[in-house]
Structure 1
Amino acid sequence: EVEVVTNSLEATDVPVVHGAYAPHRRALLASGVTLFELRAEHDNDEGAVMGAPGSSASALHIKALMVDDDIVFVGTPNADPRSVWWNSEVGLLVESEGLARELRELVAVGTSPGQSYRVILDDEGRLGWETRRGDETVRLSREPGGPWRHANAWLSRLLRLERWL
């Protein structure tokens, strides 16, 4: 069982990075991965300057991995060549049932329908974003996020920036 919790386009502080991740969602979902994308803390982020760093108060910036019920990795590395070759990155690999339990609780908060979108793939291969607003389950057929965020994500794909991110 693999669950991934990451930023939604509307909540990311770097939309071009989201643009590099987005094309992989269908393959991840088709392979059985469960995807959750954290919602923004506010509905309207159009005041943000073209996805400038720090423009979303709800951006997730943690790298954590749990294996089974007792092995946890927490660190700073990004999954990119820059982090591997040029940055000074650190991480801890810990065998701890207590730490794993706390990470599981944190993930449960992040994956709750009021905090995140569950990304789904329908029978026709279209992506959808399910969440809760009040007592109502809402399913969106268009990725949440304003025009500037969509433009930055699109530009990332157009310029094939993934290898540099």
Structure 2
Amino acid sequence: MGSLNFTNDDDRAVSPVIGVILMVAITVILAAVIASFVLGLGQGNDPAPTPTIESDFSPDELVFSVTGGDDFDSSVSELQIDVTVGDSSGNTEEISTTVALDNGGTSSESSGGKTVNVDMGDVSDEVTAGDSITITASEEIREWDAQIIWNPSDQDSQVVYEDSSN
């Protein structure tokens, strides 16, 4: 009796076809990975700074002092503040203002005969430890809500400091 041969010569062509398909797939994947790094798609945005800021509140003034943490560019940052001021007879007024941190000097906003002044102190090109922002009002400061927003042109804006009287 002769030996039985179960091999089929037609099955040998499958192996080279699968090999070519795998080589093409590996080449395409490798090209995509290299292209993503060359085009900068693999790079993330810089993280937002995390300054350490303390607030000191009295009815006469509100002071935000940078005590440490990350320095950040004042030219792409702003202070948004809502201040409720009132007089001794109970008349109050909410005053909102947005001030660029690189503005330097002072800024004033008035409403209903009441005024809020923002003094940027020594803030220059960068906000660093030792810088402070002072808010004063023509009447007693009753409530406030403040945010410092970092908004570079190549990234989404992010709140780097937020504080309120509530």
Q: Could you tell me the TM-score, scaled by structure 1's length? A: 0.22
Structure with the higher strand share, 1 or 2: 2
Greater relative contact order, per chain length (Cα 8 Å cut-off, separation 6+): 1
Structure with the higher helix share, 1 or 2: 1
- Highest Rg: 1 or 2? 2
